[in-house]
A and B are shown apart, each in its own frame.
Chain A
Amino acid sequence: MSFIAKPKIAHPSLPRNALGMTRRDYEGALSTLCAGCGHDSITAAIVEACWGIAIEPHNLIKLSGIGCSSKTTAYFVSGAHGFNSVHGRMPSIGMGANAANRRLHYIGVSGDGDTLSIGLGQFCHAIRRNLNMLYIIENNGVYGLTKGQFSASADIGSKAKKGETNFQPPIDPVVLAMTLGATFVARSFSGDKEQLVPLIEAGLNHNGFALIDVLSPCVTFNDHEGSTKSYAYTREHYEPAVHTDFIPLQQEITAQYAPGEALPVVLHDGSRIVLRKLDSDYDPTDRGACTATIQERLKEEEYLTGLLFIGPGLPEFHELNETPDGPLNAVPYEMLCPGSAGMKKILARYR
C-alpha cells in the first residue's frame, strides 16, 4: 500500500459526466491492499462505471462483509454511504436497507470466502428474493487476510503457496446463480477493464439481482505456478462469450452491429445493453442452454466471460411485495398509525 495521500485538486481539463463531476469525485480512500491486487483494478472499474452512468454519490449504498474484497468499499465513491458488516452477511443488510428505501443504488462487494462459505445461504436467498442490487464477487480462490487458506472456489488440483493441493470440488457462483433463477449473471476478469466497466454499468441499472463474478488474482497468496486463479492461468483460460455494450438512456446507439449478431435489451430505466455474441451458438437468454455450456466449459477448464445470462422482466422484491414506488422510510407516520379511532375498532375483537 501507499502512504501518500491523494491530492483532491482536479485538473480543469478532466472530463466531466452528466452531473458535471470528474472521475476523481468517484474515488475513495487509498487502498491498503497489496500492490498488484486484482481487487484494486475492480475498484477502478467501479469508479469508472459510477462516473460513466453519473450516479449521484450520496444515492449509492456500498455494502460488504469481511475480508480483503470487503475492505474495498472504502476505496471507491467516498461520497456514498458505506456499510462494512459481518462475515458473509452483507446480503441481509442489503435486503433490509433496500426494503427501507428502494430508490437508491445498491452495490455489494464480496469475496469467494465471504460469499461461498458462511455467506452462501444469504447469497442464495438474496437471489431468490431478486433483491435489487449489484453483487460483485472478487474471486481469487484463497483467504488473503488470514494468509493463504483455500476458499470454496479453489479448483481441484490447485496448489496453495505452501504446496498443498486442494482436493475438494469448487462451488461456482455463476452456475449456482443460474440454477437459483438469477436474472443477471456475468463473469469477468479484473484484468479486463474494457469488459468489466459496461458490465458494472449494466448491473447497476438492472432491476433485480445482478451478479458479476470477477476473477481477481491474489498476488500474494495465489499467483504462483500450480494455482488456477493466477494472472497467467486466468489469462490463458478465460474466453469472452458475449460482448456487452452499455448505452445510457440519453445516448443513441452508434456502434454498428452485424445483423443477427446483436441483441439489444432494454433495462428498467430505459437504458439499454447491447449484447454481441462472440460464439453464434450461445444464446444469453436461454437459461438451460447457458447453464449447460458454462458447466461444459468449466470441465474443460475454460471460464466463459461476459454477460452470460439475462432474464429481463422478472419482478424484484418490491414488485412482489407490492410496496409503494417511493421509499418506505418516507411514508408519513400519519399513514402508518391507525390512531385512537383505529384502536377502538381493533380492540372490539378482543372483548
Chain B
Amino acid sequence: MSSSESKMINDFVIKIATVNGTGSASANMLLMKSIFRSGIPVMGKNYFPSNIQGLPTWYEIRVTKHGYVACSGRVDIMVAMNAETYSKDVREVAAGGYLVYDSTWPRPALLKREDITTLGVPFAKLCNENFNGVRTRILMKNICYAGVLAALLDLDIEHIRQLLAETYAKKPQLVASNMKAIELGFNYAKANFDCPLPLRVEKMDMTSGYIMMDGNTAAALGCLFAGATVAAWYPITPSTSLMDAFKAFSDRNRIDPQTGRKNFAFIQAEDELAAIGMVIGASWNGARAFTATSGPGISLMNEFLGLAYYAEVPAVVFDIQRVGPSTGMPTRTQQSDIMTCAYASHGDTRQVCLYPANAEECFYMAVQAFDLAERLQTPILVLSDIDIGMNDWMCREFKWDDAYRPDRGKILDKSAIEKLEKFYRYVDKDGDGIPYRTLPGVHPKGAYFTRGSGHTQFGVYTEDSADYQLLLDRLLGKWATAKKLVPRAVIDATASSELGIVSLGSCDGAVREAMDLLSARGVALDYMRVRAFPFSEDVDRFLAAHAVIFIVEQNRDAQFRALLTVETAVEKSKLRSILHYAGLPITSRFIVDGVLAEIRPDAASRAAAVR
C-alpha cells in the first residue's frame, strides 16, 4: 500500500445528493451508523430544503480518524442521485475523487471530468426490475446506493443488516426488502468495480463510550433530567424536533406507574407570544418550564422576555438559530440571534445566554439553564443552531450523577415564610442582587403582586424616581452575580502566542481543526471559546493578553465581536473578524484561509488561486 493510499483510509468525505421525501435519510443513517459501529469517528451534516417533498437535499458524511467534528470543505465521493443538481454536484468533487451516478439513462457529455473516477450504477433499472410500485422503487433506489457504497468502502454489511433489524423491529418484512436493495447495489459494485476503493474504511476502536445524537434530542433529554414539567411551544423549524423529543422522552419516562397519569404538561400554544407567556406563568407558579423556538419566535417573545427580566421570573428558552433576517432560509444554519438575544426586549434589559458548541453540551447546558434560571430568577436563553440541533453528533455518553438535585434558588418554603414578620419580594437581603420569592398557595404571608410596571423593592407599584432606580440598579448587581455563575470560557492557550482566536457555539469544531492545520503550517494560535453571556472575567483576561485576535462567528454583521466590544474593555483595533454566513456550517478551510489572509496575505492569495 502506498502512503497516499493509507492516507485515504478512514479519512474522506462522502456527499450524497438526493431529492427530499425519497427516503434517503434512512440510507444515510445506515451508512453513517455502520461506520460509527465499525469504531470510526464520523460526522454527518444534512442540508435540506424548507419543503416536504421534491426539492434538492444533500447529506455529507465525513469519515474522520482524527475525530474532527466540522466540515472540511472537501468532497471525495459524490453520490449524485438528483438530476436537477447533477452538474453542480459533479463540479464539487475534489480532483482524484469519485462520482457515483445513476447510469440507467445516458449522462450528458458536458459534465464529464477527466480528473475524477466515474462509477455508473443503473439504480433505476435495478430497482424497476426487482421491486413493484412507484413509491417502493424510489425508496429502494436510495437504499441501493448504500449497498454500492458498502462494497466500495468495505463496510461491514452485517452492521447494516443489524441496523435494519433494529429500525424495523416491528415490521420484519421491511428488513428483507431493504436488505434486497442493499445486496443489489453491493453485488453490482462488486461485479463491476475494483472493490474496495483505495479510499475506504478500516475497523478502529475509537467510538466505544460514544453515542450519535442531534443537539435538539440532547437538549430535550436535558430538560427531562432537569425535571422540567411544563413545555409550551409553537411549531417552528428548526426547533420542533426538540419539543417532539421531549414529548417522546416524557411519554416513556414520565407516566406515573401507579396512576398512569402524566407528570408533565405539553402545550402547543397558539403562537410564540403565548408560548413564552405559558413558560413564564408556569415558572412563576413553581414548575420548571421551557420553550424552544427560532429567530422569528425570539422576535415575538421580546416583550414577555422583558417582563420576565424586570419582574424576575425564571424561564428557559432554546433558540435554535436559523438564517435571517425575517423568514430567511428556515433550514439553513446561522448564529445571527446573538445580539437580539443578549438585549432581548425594550428598556434596559440584559439576558443571560448560553452558547452550547455541540450536542453533548446541549444536554449539560439544558440542565444548567434551569438551575441558572431559578437561581438568578431570570430568563436563560440557550443559543443552539441548525447545525448543532438537527445534525447527528458523535458525543461522549452522557454521565448522570444521581446525587444531582435541582437548584431551585431562593424560594421560601412554608416554614421559612411562617418565620417572617412580613414578606417583601424584591429586597436584596444577601447583597448578591437576588431577592427571595414565594410560590402561590404556600402560605398566606407569602402573597405578593407581580407586575411589569414600576415597582418598589417591597413589590408595590411606583412612579417614584428613587424607588425605580434602586430596583434597576439592584438588577445590575444581579448581573454581576450572573457573571460568576455562568459557565466559564474554554481556553486553550500556551501563552506563547501573540495571536488569539475566539469563537462560540457551533464554530468550535471547525476552529479546532483549523488550529491543527495552521499549526502544521507554523501558525500557532491561542483559543478561547466563549460559553455564556455575561462574559466571565477570563474573557477579559484572554482578550487583554493577545495582540491580534480573530473572532470567528456565523453571521454577516460580526454580532459576537460587537458584543465583546460593548461588554469588555478590549480595544476594537485588535479584533479581526472571520465571518461565515452562507447558511451552511462553517468549514475548517474557511477559517484557515481567513487567518492566513490576515497574517500571510501572499500565501493566502496563492492558496486561493490554486483552488
Are chains A and B native binding partners rather than an unrelated pairing?
yes
Interface residues of A (CB under 8 A from B): 56-59, 61, 73-74, 78-86, 89, 91-101, 103-104, 121-122, 124-125, 129, 318, 321-325, 327-329, 331, 333, 335-340, 342-343, 346-347, 350-351
CA distance in complex: A98, B286 (Å): 11
Chain B nearest CB: distance from A18 CB in Å? 16
Nearest-neighbor residue (CB-CB) of A61 within chain B:
B440
Contact call B282/A99, Cβ cutoff below 8 A: yes
Interface of B is mostly: mixed
Given A81-B447, A340-B400, 16 other A-B residues pairs in contact with their CB atoms under 8 A: A83-B451, A85-B280, A85-B452, A89-B277, A93-B278, A96-B285, A124-B270, A321-B262, A322-B261, A336-B229, A336-B254, A338-B224, A339-B400, A343-B225, A346-B249, A351-B36
CB <8 Å contact, B442 and A92? no
Q: Which of B262, B264, B281, B303 contacts A96 (CB 8 A)?
A: B281
Within 8 A of A (CB), among B256-306: 256, 259-267, 269-271, 273-287, 289, 303-304
Q: Provide the B221-262 mask, 1 if CB < 8 A to any CB of A, else 0.
A: 100111101101000000000000000010001101001111
- Decide if B281 touches A94 in the complex (CB within 8 Å): yes
Complex: how many Å from CA A61 to CA B284? 11
* Cβ-defined contact, B274 with A89, below 8 A: yes
Interface check B397, CB cutoff 8 A:
yes
Q: Is B450 an interface residue (CB 8 A)?
A: yes
How far is A97 from B227 in the complex, measured between Cα atoms in Å? 17
Number of CB contacts from chain A to chain B under 8 A: 213
A57 touching B447 by the CB < 8 A rule? yes
The 10 A-B residue pairs with the shortest CB-CB distance, nearest first, are A96-B281, A92-B277, A100-B287, A96-B278, A96-B282, A93-B281, A100-B285, A81-B440, A329-B286, A82-B449
- Complexed CA–CA distance, A61 and B443 (Å): 13
Known contacts A58-B441, A321-B265, A322-B260; is-contact A333 B227 (Cβ 8 Å): yes
Give how many B residues have a beta carbon under 8 Å from the other chain's beta carbons.
73
Residue from B261, B280, B402, B448 in contact with A81 in the complex, judged by beta carbons closer than 8 Å = B448
The answer to whether A100 touches B267 (Cβ under 8 A) is no
Whether B285 pairs with A101 at a CB distance below 8 angstroms is yes
Instruction: Report the nearest A residue to B282, measured CB to CB.
Output: A96
Contacts of A91 on B, CB cut-off 8 Å?
Answer: 274, 277
Please name all residues of chain A whose beta carbon is closer than 8 Å to the beta carbon of B217 when the two chains form the complex: 350
Question: Across the two chains, which residue of chain B brings its CB closest to A84?
Answer: B451
Q: A95 near B285 (CB under 8 angstroms)?
A: no
- The residues of A that contact B283 with a CB separation of less than 8 Å are 96, 100
B452 & A323 in contact (Cβ 8 Å cutoff): no
Nearest CB in chain A to that of B289: its residue: A96
Q: Report B6-46 CB contacts with A as 1/0, cut-off 8 Å.
A: 00000000000000000000000000000011000000000
Given A84-B453, A346-B249, A93:B225 Cβ within 8 A: no
CB < 8 Å: which of B289, B307, B397, B447 contacts A58? B447
Among residues of A, the one whose C-beta sits closest to the C-beta of B211 is: A350
Q: Of B265, B277, B304, B440, which one neighbours A328 at CB under 8 angstroms?
A: B265
Task: Please determine whether B449 and A97 come into contact, CB atoms closer than 8 angstroms.
Answer: no
Given contacts A83-B281, A100-B286, A346-B249, contact A323 B440 (CB under 8 A): no
CB of A96 within 8 A of CB of B227, answer: no
